[in-house]
């Protein structure tokens, strides 16, 4: 066993021998060069550029506002009145009787707006959250029907009490005078919230997966009213009784329909960014449920010498078929969006685009009106209260497809 002083001396001798055995550097070898960036490169010594393309530096947040010029599918227009020679009584099927159809909004261009935004959840912009809401302005249309000279104006229906075509006379020369009015109103809006997952990225091209929860709401209301005033020698019917001049009867029916879509959507986004330009194409398929809500209400009022009297039930509606009716249907809601943008500055982009949106299994007011009525249940009918056979018919939910497409123009802020 070596002593400690002798072990230290041997360690020094071995270390010196190893050092003397290493090859000496070549005398003419230059020292390693240090990295010097080009002027204007925008990076410091040892840094890696984060923007390999020609566009602006990456951002985290964005907010977009757009004007929307939308177009929607028209609704079916119901027949609410009839007119013809006085002898026909306005009954459909008799020679000379013509059907009068309620006007609907022409469903041309409808102004609206869209607001959207989102955030990337990390600097690489691999995944983020976004949201969007839109609305189309309210559209409505009014119609007024009057009898021609010497003609009858009536409310036609199929009378289930007698299984024949029948009518209520609203205006008849020398007996009663009146008119029929209608109003149709529509509103459409919606929104979505979800995620963006970037799966492919190059300096100018990227592909993203899109997953969103989606909500749409279509509100439509159809109101039909008529007013009939007894002339000298004539009468109007109210609640099973006849009232002479100057009595007046007012009848109102209202169909309020709301379609609510709840569901999810999945799809992809192709994003091409050559320089300051940006081209974006989205394609998605939505699937969910449509909640169809129908509210039927009606009233009949008598204006006479005394206070106005009102009873429930109008012409289409009565005591046994008014109320709230609800149905749920499976619905598909695909949509396609294309947008072109130009980046004016690193934080401001001007945009223009087009969107097509589709939704199945929507019910609308014109499809729900039932013209099979029991005259014994119509408060303004002379047959009201009679013990006639027949049953009340509840509204039938007839489902149709609905679409909206439109042009957009706006701006987007990135920060």
Q: Is residue 267 part of a domain?
A: yes
Strands 61-72 and 277-303: unpaired
Q: Is residue 56 part of a domain?
A: no
Assigned domain for 186 exists: yes
pLDDT of 9 higher than 70: no
Distance from C-alpha of 102 to C-alpha of 388, rounded to nearest angstrom: 30
Question: Does residue 284 fall inside a structural domain?
Answer: yes
| Residue of 231, 221, 219, 251 lying closest to 362 (CA atoms) | 219
Residue 5 in domain: no
Instruction: Please spell the DSSP secondary structure of 287-330, one letter per residue.
Output: EEEEEEEEEEEEEEEEESSSS-EEEE--SS--TTT-EEEEEEEE
Q: What is the pLDDT of residue 390?
A: 54
> Residue 390 to residues 207, 323, 338, 374: CA-CA distances in angstroms?
62, 20, 55, 6
Q: Which of 393, 253, 395, 402 shows the shortest CA–CA distance to 326?
A: 395
User: What tens digit of pLDDT does each residue of 165-219 get?
Assistant: 999 999 999 999 999 999 999 999 999 999 999 999 999 999 999 999 999 999 9
Please give the pLDDT value at position 23.
45
**Mean pLDDT across 290-319:** 93
Higher pLDDT: 287 or 51? It is: 287
- 370: number of CA atoms within 13 Å, CB side? 19
In a domain, 30, yes or no: no
Residue-wise pLDDT for 93-129, tens only, equals 999 999 998 877 667 899 999 999 999 998 888 999 9
210 vs 194: CA distance, rounded Å: 7
Domain tally for the chain?
Answer: 1
Q: Is residue 34 part of a domain?
A: no
> Which structure tokens are listed for 367?
């499809």
Domain that holds residue 92: 61-414
- Inform me whether the pLDDT recorded for 35 exceeds 80: no
Mean pLDDT of all residues belonging to the chain: 86
Res. 11: pLDDT tops 60: no
Q: Which residue has the tokens 């923007």?
A: 51
In a domain, 399, yes or no: yes
Q: Would the pTM of this model clear 0.85, i.e. be above it?
A: no
Q: Please, which pLDDT band fits residue 56 given cuts at 50, 70 and 90? A: very low
């Amino acid at each position: 066993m070596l002593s400690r002083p002798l072990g230290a001396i041997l360690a020094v001798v071995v270390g010196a021998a190893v050092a003397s055995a290493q090859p000496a550097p070549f005398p003419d070898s230059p020292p390693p060069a240090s990295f010097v960036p080009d002027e204007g490169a925008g990076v410091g010594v040892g840094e890696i550029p984060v923007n390999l393309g020609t566009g602006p530096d990456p951002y985290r947040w964005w907010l977009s506002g757009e004007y929307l010029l939308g177009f929607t599918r028209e609704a079916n227009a119901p027949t609410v009145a009839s007119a013809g020679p006085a002898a026909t009584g306005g009954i459909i099927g008799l020679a000379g009787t013509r059907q009068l159809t309620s006007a609907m909004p022409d469903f041309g261009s409808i102004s609206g707006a869209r607001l959207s935004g989102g955030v990337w959840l990390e600097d690489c912009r691999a995944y983020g959250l976004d949201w969007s809401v839109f609305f189309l302005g309210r559209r409505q249309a009014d119609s007024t029907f009057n009898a021609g000279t010497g003609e009858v104006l009536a409310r036609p229906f199929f009378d289930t009490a007698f299984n024949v075509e029948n009518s209520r006379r609203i205006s008849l020369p020398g007996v009663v005078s009146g008119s029929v009015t209608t109003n149709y109103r529509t509103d459409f809006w919606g929104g979505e919230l979800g995620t963006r997952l970037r799966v492919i990225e190059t300096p100018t091209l990227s592909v993203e997966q899109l997953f969103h929860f989606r909500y749409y709401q279509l509100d439509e209301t159809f109101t039909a009213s008529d007013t009939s005033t007894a002339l000298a020698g004539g009468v109007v019917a109210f609640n099973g009784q006849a009232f002479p001049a100057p009595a007046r009867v007012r009848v109102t029916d209202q169909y309020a329909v709301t379609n609510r879509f709840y569901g999810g959507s999945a799809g992809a986004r192709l994003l091409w960014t050559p320089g300051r330009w940006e081209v974006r194409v989205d394609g998605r398929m939505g699937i969910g449920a449509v909640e169809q809500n129908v509210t039927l209400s009606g009233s009949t009022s008598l204006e006479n010498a005394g206070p106005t009297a009102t009873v429930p039930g109008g012409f289409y509606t009565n005591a046994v078929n008014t109320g709230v009716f609800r149905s749920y249907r499976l619905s598909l809601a695909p949509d396609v969006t294309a947008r072109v943008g130009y980046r004016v500055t690193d934080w401001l982009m001007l945009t223009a685009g087009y969107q097509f949106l589709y939704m199945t299994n929507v019910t609308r007011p014109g499809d729900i009106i039932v013209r099979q009525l029991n005259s014994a249940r119509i408060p303004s009918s002379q047959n009201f209260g009679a013990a006639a056979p027949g049953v009340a018919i509840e509204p039938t939910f007839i489902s149709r497809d609905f679409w909206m497409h439109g042009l957009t123009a706006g701006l987007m802020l990135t920060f």
